[in-house]
């Protein structure tokens, strides 16, 4: 299990370097609070909204409320050809 502080540090470095910060929770959860600069695409809509993430060369940091949806979204992104996908897991890990 990776050190939570290291996961946070890696995610922050990637976002600072230009990675897309992708929140895959519901729009209602997103409106109730999200990480600054995050883009909201619910995991169940991700496959059909991949163009909103950016080119497949775009680094992406994914998060949700508890980690399960982020893991599923990372799989969708990887299967779709995104090469640099990082799973932050839960938003609280930031």
List pLDDT tens digits, range 44-60: 999 999 999 999 999 99
Residue 11 and residue 62 in contact, taking contact as beta carbons nearer than 8 Å = no
- Domain of residue 16, residue span: 4-93
CATH code for the domain in which residue 76 is found: 3.40.250.10
* pLDDT tops 90 at residue 2: no
Active-site annotation, residues: 64
Q: Cα dist. 84→8, 10, 31, 32, 80 in Å?
A: 16, 12, 27, 28, 12
* Predicted TM-score of the model (pTM): 0.96
Give how many domains the chain has, as a whole number: 1
Average pLDDT over residues 20-26: 98
SS3 11: helix
90 burial level (CB within 10 Å; 0-12, 13-18, 19+): middle
Which parts of 1-94 fold into alpha helices (H)?
4-16, 27-32, 68-79
């Amino acid at each position: 299990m990776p050190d939570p502080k290291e996961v946070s540090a890696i995610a922050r470095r990637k976002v600072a370097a230009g990675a897309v910060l992708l929140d895959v929770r519901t729009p209602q959860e997103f409106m109730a609070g999200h990480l600054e600069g995050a883009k909201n695409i619910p995991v169940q809509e991700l496959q059909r909204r991949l163009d909103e993430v950016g080119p497949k060369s775009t680094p992406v940091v994914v998060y949700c409320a508890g980690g399960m949806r982020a893991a599923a979204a990372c799989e969708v992104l990887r299967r779709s050809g995104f090469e640099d996908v990082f799973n932050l897991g839960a938003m609280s890990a930031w």
